Amino acid sequence: MARTSYAVPLAGLTTLRLGGPARRLVEVDTEADLVEVVSAADAAGEPVLVLGDGSNVVVSDDGVDGTVVAVRTRGVHAEVDGCAGAWVTVAAGEPWDDLVARAVAEEWSGIEALAGIPGRTGAAPIQNVGAYGQEVADTLARVRVLDRVERRVRMLPLAECGFGYRWSRFKAEPGRFVVLEVALQLRPGSMSAPVRYAELAARLGVGLGDRAPLGEVRDAVLALRRGKGMVLDPDDHDTWSAGSFFTNPVLDADAAAALPGDAPRFPVADGRVKTSAAWLIDRAGRGRGYGLAGRPAAGVSDKHALALTNRGGASTADLLALAADVRAEVARRFGVVLEPEPVLVGCDLGPL
């Protein structure tokens, strides 16, 4: 069933609590309605924003002069085989952390370190969400989508999703695909995938590459995320954010060599080097608790330098001014241009 309303403030539908009104908001809870509403808007030449829980989006103060489709489809279907593993097909509107919790309870291994990430399952492949050494691409088998260019529903196997660090074909071709369903292939068993993140391994008291009970991994990840303000809490303004606002820069060898000697450096497969955006922000004097004079309602989280937060009463303009200031100072100090991780709707950070 589709439910339509008009002039709805989008601030109530995003984790930042920011965003002007949608001219039309349509909530859909069946895949057929999702395809029909988006296709009809496309045929009418009307702008469309597909929204899950608004956890990775920054909407302008002007809002969206078009249709916002809130995806509320539900359903998880699992086929488990002792050899092939657990083939888990998930509707786009399923809350992601609920899926992780179920996987842990059912002893399906492979996404336990992705606990606590807000949003719906349909958003996970778009960003190739990742945390604590796991990412969606590790277990994703295929994605069923509405292709708005070819005007048909089609299946994209893993090889056609173009996954990279916080990257995918869905980001490379923005607006083309609407995710309808995600299929994951998970390993049956009570133990986690090998732990690949040092902070998580230390929390669990295991070595890198070791395994740990699924529930312990999920609990440890949630504790780490809470300590950084990365688990949603309506009473904690440090969680009024879009998560990490900037991605960790991946640099060529020369750019990485130009960083200070104590800057974090993580080799990647293609010969480039990933560094820490949080480290750069801290060293640029824009770390935890930082805010702009005259714009106190937006600030860097008191718990984590990568989260830009709405301290209450902020506007999108306040948040973008803060983000632009952080980016400019990091570029001035280190010659590295930080790229925003959330989708910016009707707004941008402006030139450096």
Number of helices followed by number of strands (H, E) in the chain: 9, 21
- Report which DSSP code applies to 95: B
- Whether 94 is catalytic is no
Candidates 72, 166, 288, 327; catalytic one:
166
Please state, in angstroms and rounded to a whole number, the distance separating the CA atoms of residues 111 and 97.
Answer: 10
User: 27 in helix, strand or coil?
Assistant: strand
- Whether 244 is catalytic is yes
Long-range contacts of 308-314 (CB under 8 A, 24+ apart): 308/241, 308/242, 308/245, 309/16, 309/229, 309/237, 309/238, 309/239, 309/240, 309/241, 310/16, 310/17, 310/18, 310/237, 310/240, 310/241, 311/237, 311/240, 312/237, 312/240, 314/17, 314/18
- Whether 166 is catalytic is yes
**For residue 312, how many other CB atoms are within 10 A of its CB?**
11
Candidates 112, 135, 181, 341; catalytic one:
341
Largest Cα–Cα distance of the chain, in whole Å?
60
Candidates 241, 244, 301, 315; catalytic one:
244
Residue whose structure tokens are 């992705």: 114
- Identify the CA nearest to 71 among candidates 105, 98, 48: 48
Which residues carry out catalysis?
166, 244, 341
